[in-house]
Amino acid sequence: MSRVACIGECMIELKQAQGTKAGLYSRGYGGDTLNTAVYLARLGVGADYITALGDDTLSDEMIAGWAAEGVGTARVARLPGKLPGLYMIETDDKGERRFFHWRDSAAARSLMDLPQTPDVLSSLSNYDTIYLSAITLSLYGGEGRARLFAALKRARELGARFAFDTNFRARGWPDLDVARSVFQEAFAAADIVLASTEDLLPLYPGESNDALLARIPGAEVVLKLSEPASLLRIQGTLHPVKAEPLKAPVVDTTAAGDSFAAAYVAARLLGADPIEAARAGHRLAGVVVCHPGAIIPRAAMPPGMVPATSHKASP
């Protein structure tokens, strides 16, 4: 079975309980790359989560939940006295979300500076695909990011592929010039770039879709657009892909991009070409946004999300 290493941070998630007035929240967990790992596992792809947590009961609960979803947890560092971060979701009547974070001292921020960091990084060469996001990169300082990029280079030399998601949160990047520099380094290193105009326009205001794509040198690039569609550049050729109409009202757009990434990567690993993979990404994201929270109930996962193909494409 193909395996994907997802690197990042999972936090305690608070979201307003359905059918209640403001002030009553339910507790779960979520984080962009963790959400992708869960959806990858549900789509039949082996996924391990690489992060750091505390030694508290909430961290225990997280690990138990991930394991129950089939996500591997052997590479989760446990740090005495530390806690996971926390975020709250506020959604408007159109399902658009706003996040509030409490995470400055979260355990995950230490992942690149631990005694076990060299072992964690050397393990990346054991995976078919390594997936992380711009939020992941915002967690670490410059030296930590340098260690991670060096490990990604070594893993790619041994046959692993690096998929980079541009998920951008301005609060994680106080200096936008640093963010632009890190993005360019990630673009140059990545085999697959999963981008969106929502993420890139705050960094490159006013640029056209063509100009945004020109910033990304890779051979396989997905640019999700403001309308329900994406623009793929595969080996220099552009391919527009439209999403299917939604079958239910949008409730919460949290994890739309994370689930798109999971379906895209899963489809590529299972043999689909990039256009088929993008269609799978749009289909899964179209289901996820019709449910509250980052991770939808397992029963809500529709069958046949990842296309079966008779030809093998290189992921």
258 is catalytic: yes
Phi, psi of 268 (to 5 degrees): -65, -45
Helix, coil or strand: residue 6 = strand
CB of 100 closer than 8 Å to CB of 171: no
CB of 232 closer than 8 Å to CB of 274: yes
CB of 281 closer than 8 Å to CB of 264: yes
| Rounded CA separation 190/40 (Å) | 19
List strand residue ranges (DSSP E) for the chain, in order.
3-7, 11-16, 25-30, 46-54, 76-79, 86-91, 97-102, 129-133, 161-165, 192-196, 220-224, 229-234, 237-242
CB of 35 closer than 8 Å to CB of 288: no
CB of 309 closer than 8 Å to CB of 271: yes
| Rounded CA separation 95/106 (Å) | 28
CA angle 47, 265, 267 (to 5 degrees): 110
| Rounded CA separation 268/260 (Å) | 12
| Rounded CA separation 35/156 (Å) | 24
Q: Which of 32, 48, 165, 258 is catalytic?
A: 258
The residue written with tokens 């990404």 in the block is 281
Q: Cite the active site residues.
A: 258
